[in-house]
Amino acid sequence: MRILIELPTWLGDAVMATPAIENLVNFQNEVEITLIGSFVSIEALKNHPKVIKTLVLEKKYPSLIKKSRELGHFDVFFSFRSSFRSKFLKLLISANNKHQFSKTKYQNHHQVEKYNNFVNDSLGTNFPAGKLVIFQHSEFNINNSSLPLLGINPGASYGSSKRWYPQEFAQVAAKLSSDYDIVIFGSPDEEDIAKDIEKSLIGKGVTNYQNLVGKTTIEELINQISSLDLFITGDSGPMHVAAASQVPTVAIFGPTRDDETSQWMNEKSVVVKKTLDCQPCMQRNCPLQHHNCMKLIKASEVFDVTKSLIKH
């Protein structure tokens, strides 16, 4: 059974699709999977034992036409994207059966359940959504000390509205620095935020930290997060990577729906958020220009929640 899967574009969405992909794989015998999609998504999921080929897609339509011809024929095609570009791609793909996710059809559930319902409807099955699964290939140990590791992830690819403030992250990290070594994670676009956190930590006399923002591959990021003892993060891709490894996590939510994108099946996961009338706006930037959904969350509150999570 040759299966072609177009992955979601974002890291977090790709990870949230893994329970559905596992159900798809387990439903069939002798499965060979080809993955297509964004570089980030493929890097995260390429080590699945059933994956025999991967192909990064470009956004330009002439490239899509060319790449689709290179892929060959498949027994079935599943696309976890619902964009017009993906609908166009679906027309180009050669497959006996083709299935495409629809944002309008699958609503009011956790994103993991949306993807899983899509696969169930396509297969005529009723499999429950299991835990998130990321197959790791390489080992990358960053904990060279006797202290446990605290990871902090201040960025969010979606937009500035999802980002908590660097000085607040630094305050929480500083309070925990006697019990944890600190690792700062993020993409190259978040280097300025990380530097602000660094300055604040140095100002508080904290030296046991590493700033790895923009310095890791996706594989390294996954391995590093899986080795953490504690994680404090916004609603982001790395948050879902942590859930796959059951890392105790404090997740800070602002403009997004935590009932749809919070950590899936992580027993040691706590969401910190306010309940404002303007939430969830789902906007990349605060439309009211006050950002109170994040501004009103203070370091003391996150620290108290973190300490409570640790005790349990």
The model's confidence at residue 157, banded by pLDDT at 50, 70 and 90, is: low
User: For residue 296, which of 286, 309, 284, 306 has the smallest C-alpha distance?
Assistant: 286
Q: 28: pLDDT confidence band, cut at 50, 70 and 90?
A: confident
CA dist 125 and 53 (Å) reads 27
Mean pLDDT of the 17-33 span? 96
As a whole-number percent, the residues of the chain with pLDDT over 90 amount to 91
Assess whether pLDDT exceeds 90 at residue 155: no
Stretch 145-150: mean pLDDT, rounded?
90
And the tokens for 206? 């904290």
Separation of alpha carbons 226 and 135, rounded Å: 11
The mean of the pLDDT values for the chain is: 95
The domain locations on the chain are 2-123, 149-311
Give the pLDDT score at 22.
98
CATH superfamily of 149-311: Glycogen Phosphorylase B; (3.40.50.2000)
pLDDT of residue 142: 55
Strand order in the sheet with 73-79: 51-56, 32-37, 2-6, 73-79, 94-100
Q: Which residue has the higher pLDDT, 138 or 22?
A: 22
**Is residue 141 pLDDT above 90, yes or no?**
no
**143 vs 177 pLDDT, higher one:** 177
Question: Is a pLDDT exceeding 70 seen at residue 143?
Answer: no
- 3-state SS string over 178-212? CCCEEEECCCHHHHHHHHHHHHHHHHCCCCCEEEC
Q: Tell me, what's the pLDDT at 223?
A: 94
- Reported as a single tens digit per residue, the pLDDT across 76-132 is 999 999 999 999 999 999 999 999 999 999 999 999 999 999 999 999 999 999 999
pLDDT band at 160 (very low <50, low <70, confident <90, very high): confident
**pLDDT recorded at residue 158:** 63
Considering only 157-166, 189-198, 264-273, which range has the smallest mean pLDDT? 157-166
- Answer yes or no: same fold for 2-123 and 149-311: yes
* Burial of 106 from C-beta contacts in 10 A (0-12 / 13-18 / 19+): middle
**pLDDT digits 0-9 by tens, 201-239:** 999 999 999 999 999 999 999 999 999 999 999 999 999
Rounded Cα–Cα distance for residues 137 and 134 (Å): 10
Reported CATH class of domain 2-123: alpha beta
Q: How far apart are CA 265 and CA 75, in angstroms?
A: 32
Per-residue pLDDT at 138 exceeds 70: no
